[in-house]
Amino acid sequence: MSFSFSFSGDDIEEDQTTTSHPPPTHAAETGTLRRPSSSAFPVAGQPLLKPQKHDLTQMLNLLPSKISYSTLTIKLDGNEGREVRIPRRELWDVRVQLMAEDDEEGLGNLGKDDVKTGVYEGGFKSWESSVDVVRVVDGRRGLVGGGRSVFELGCGTALPSLAIFQWLLQRTVTTTGAVNLGLADYNPTVLQLVTLPNTLLSWAQTTKPETWEAEGELEIDPDLISQFLTSLQIHNISLSFYSGAWSPEFVDLISSDSTLKSTPLTIIGAETIYSPAALASFGETLMSLLNLPSAEGSTALVAAKKVYFGVGGSMEDFCDLVRGKGGLVEQIREESDGVRRAVVEVRLTG
């Protein structure tokens, strides 16, 4: 089932978005991204994608030789003019790469449909509610400090995780505890084509401010990748990438991952409950993760539209599901400009 919402991703219509430029008339050098000959996406009627963890080094080695980007500037709460700038890979640059690889299915997922249930879950685009999460987390940085694992479900372009990643890189190295940052999206191609490149862009912006520009190209070579991996070690940050459907198997994968074991989780989800099916699978998975024995003290921040008109998901239905499973829900932010949105915090009772 395909959905085209009345709102669009990637064009977050707020004053904090810089204007994206059209692609150049000549084809940019894109390098190669080798994927199995079989599609990463399930065929209609076939089982959903099996959950799996992806090796960071292998993913880095599959990046193109350069990526084009522009910067989204998000104004944070308060009157001090505070903001966070998040560079993102240009979608036209992704499209050029997919065209060079003759990947018609990948190109189809950059088309008019925002979501194709069981095939593509909208990860190439940035969504309004993810900006709301960035602002909430900025005011609750204790939830993303040392000794915790931050885990974004349905990350896509990963705006909240990228903001957190930048803040972690700005910490005083000698006084920080380890932080595990997990990023999960249904589609492995989304992780490879936008999530990981965006993470590398945020790292480059934060660690190389003297040469960084708001838009341009980032050259990727073995030396840059080596610097990136070394910087993660120095700052006590581990990055983990997961793909596949939300399911009991997905929970088993996370619970068995030593990277995330024995630490409280701060789980983030934005625009993950757009339909009854998505709401149910996300809610079940979220509550299962919060109930893991190793995740005592965990919490979740979930952001969404109040109602997804014409699609069927709603924040009220999500809250009812959580309460029905013994969870506590507190609304901590509401946005009334445009389509009404909210951010809720979910905890276990007791």
Q: For the domain that residue 318 is a member of, what is the CATH number?
A: 3.40.50.150
pLDDT reported for residue 348: 92
Contact in structure between 48 and 42 (CB atoms under 8 Å): yes
Contact in structure between 238 and 182 (CB atoms under 8 Å): no
Contact in structure between 268 and 238 (CB atoms under 8 Å): no
pLDDT reported for residue 175: 58
Residue 80 burial (C-beta neighbours within 10 Å; 0-12, 13-18, 19+)? exposed
Instruction: Mention every residue, 6+ apart, whose C-beta is less than 8 A from residue 156.
Output: 121, 122, 123, 124, 125, 126, 127, 130, 185, 190, 194, 195
288 pLDDT more than 80: yes
pLDDT reported for residue 142: 83
Token couple for 199: 């993470």
Phi, psi of 121 (to 5 degrees): -110, 30
25 pLDDT more than 50: no
- Does residue 171 or residue 223 have the better pLDDT? 223
Range of the domain at 185: 52-348
- Mean pLDDT, rounded, of the chain: 81
Is residue 111 included in any domain, yes or no?
yes
Is residue 70 included in any domain, yes or no?
yes
Is residue 7 included in any domain, yes or no?
no
88: nearest Cα among 151, 9, 27: 9
Instruction: Give 28-85 pLDDT, tens digit per residue.
Output: 222 222 333 333 334 445 578 899 999 999 999 999 999 999 999 999 998 788 999 9
Give one DSSP letter per residue of 227-273, joined into a string: HHHHHHHHTTEEEEEEES-SSHHHHHHHHT-TTTTTS-EEEEEES--
pLDDT reported for residue 299: 94
- Does residue 47 or residue 155 have the better pLDDT? 155
State the total domains in the chain.
Answer: 1
Phi, psi of 265 (to 5 degrees): -105, 140
195: nearest Cα among 209, 214, 182: 182
pLDDT reported for residue 253: 94
Is residue 161 included in any domain, yes or no?
yes
Is residue 30 included in any domain, yes or no?
no
Is residue 315 included in any domain, yes or no?
yes
pLDDT reported for residue 75: 94
Is residue 21 included in any domain, yes or no?
no
- Per DSSP, the three-state class of 298 is coil
The size of the chain, in residues, is: 350
Instruction: Give 169-208 pLDDT, tens digit per residue.
Output: 998 765 567 889 999 999 899 999 999 999 999 999 999 9
Is residue 44 included in any domain, yes or no?
no
Rounded Cα distance between 194 and 67, Å, is 10
